[in-house]
Amino acid sequence: MCIRDSTKDDDPQLVGDALPFILKLYEALLEENPQNIKLLLTTGSGFIMYANTFVHSEAEMLPPEEYERKEALTKRAKKLYLRGRDYLLKALEIKYPGFKRSLSENNFDQALNPVKKEDVPLLYWCAAGWFGAIAIDVFDLRLTIDLKKAEAIMERAYQLDPDFNNGAIHEFYIMYYSSLPEGMGGDKEKARYHFGKAVELTEGMSASPYIALATTLCIKNQDVEEFKELLNRALEIDPDANPENRLINIINQRKARWYLEHIEDFFLIE
């Protein structure tokens, strides 16, 4: 099994159990060929996908009484996000020597202007891993101080290929603009614009945009009716209708059911 093929599977537990072994194999291959850009991308994005889908998400759905396990999983997810990000930063440094130094000096134009459209996967996954780690631990000041770097990387990916991977960047911006306070860049209209684009690009066959908007903007606005409508729309999708995205849809539908079952945890319902 390779990571790309696993997205077609219909058994999340089977894939979740197998991925750590695959990722360790990739790391072993990197020891033999540390300059391999494609392998760095596959390894880095794999760690980030695994962290998000099988570690971070599990932590979010644990009951309050399992606080210690929740804390352990979130710490692990943070480490995995950063582990993946570092592989992607290494790949960008190999392709564009001086990239990491320019980024560390907040010279974003110098770091990112040379990057080409073909490198959008590196940019997207690097930023996604960075944001994932920041979202888990907003009190880690050494990490949150780098927020502008992650923002700049994702913005460059969006400039180069806004519709990358059937709207993956649009899905990110749904959560980004929905989650931030208005004074820090939050914008509900932009969130809804990106939601519309993500649904359009996936032809309504991905549960991800519906869950992204429901679990951010709807909760923020305490709009329980739209929350339920969006999650039910996610549940209406047939995972088999889009084999390339089958696994993610199955996992996201499980998440949608969990949110609907725990609706009182997120809304003030009389």
* The pLDDT of residue 186: 85
Cα–Cα dist 60/12, whole Å:
17
Q: pLDDT tens-digit profile of 214-250?
A: 999 999 999 999 999 999 999 999 998 888 889 999 9
Q: Is 28 exposed, middle or buried (0-12, 13-18, 19+ CB in 10 A)?
A: exposed
Report the Cα 89 to chain-centroid distance in Å.
16
Note whether 127 and 150 are within 8 A (CB). Answer: yes
How many CB atoms neighbour CB 87 within 10 A?
25
What's the mean pLDDT in 101-126? 97
Is the predicted pLDDT of residue 4 greater than 60, yes or no? no
CB 119 within 8 A of CB 82: no
Radius of gyration of the chain (CA): 18
Please give the full DSSP string across 98-154, using - where no structure is assigned: THHHHHHTT-HHHHHTT--GGGHHHHHHHHHHHHHHHHH-TT-HHHHTTHHHHHHHH
Contacts of residue 21, Cβ cutoff 8 Å, sequence gap at least 6: none
CB 244 within 8 A of CB 205: no
Range 146-167 average pLDDT: 96
Per-residue pLDDT of 48-94, as tens digits, reads 999 999 999 999 999 889 999 999 999 999 999 999 999 999 999 99
Q: What is the average pLDDT score of the chain?
A: 93
Q: What is the pLDDT of residues 18-49, one digit of tens each?
A: 999 999 999 999 999 999 999 999 999 999 99
Residues in the chain: 270
Among residues 245, 203, 244, 212, which one has the least CA distance to residue 231?
212
